[in-house]
């Protein structure tokens, strides 16, 4: 889904790939978190000005999974708010894999 911001000077278009890149970079900035590459599920739904994100993670073995997932939720929400001006209503995280 493309996010379009209408401004007095014109429109700003943020394509789905860019939104996904923001989500991946924010999620993977958390130590021990990786967005799953194989069969990756990553969805960013926009109902401007709100966003809903769903993603699958791999978490490093030995870390506290809920702590890592919560940190990912916070970083993703913060990144989309700061970079796109979106109000993030939910970041749903599924931990699908442990990495060694």
pLDDT per residue over 76-92, tens digit each? 999 999 999 999 999 99
Q: How many domains does the chain have?
A: 1
> Are the C-beta atoms of residues 95 and 71 closer than 8 Å to each other?
no
CATH number for the domain harbouring residue 10 = 3.30.70.1350
Q: What is the mean pLDDT of the chain?
A: 93
Print the domain residue range for 69: 3-99
pLDDT, tens digit (0-9, with 9 covering 90-100), for 20-38 = 999 999 999 999 999 987 5
Measured in whole angstroms, how far is the alpha carbon of residue 65 from the centre of its chain? 17
Q: Are 23 and 73 in contact (CB under 8 A)?
A: no
Write the DSSP assignment of the chain as a string of letters: --EEEEETTEEEEE-HHHHHHHHHHHHHTSTTEEE--TT--EEEEEETTEEEEEEEEEEETTS-HHHHHHHHHHHHHHHHHHHH--EEEEEEEEEEEEE-
């Amino acid at each position: 889904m493309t996010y379009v911001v209408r401004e007095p000077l014109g429109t700003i278009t943020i394509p789905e790939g860019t939104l996904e890149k923001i989500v991946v970079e924010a999620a993977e900035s958390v130590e021990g978190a990786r967005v799953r590459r194989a069969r990756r599920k990553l969805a960013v739904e926009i109902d401007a000005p709100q966003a809903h994100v769903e993603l699958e993670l791999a978490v490093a073995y030995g870390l506290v999974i809920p702590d890592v997932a919560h940190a990912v939720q916070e970083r993703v929400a913060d990144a989309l708010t700061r970079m796109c001006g979106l109000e993030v209503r939910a970041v749903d995280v599924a931990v699908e894999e442990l990495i060694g």
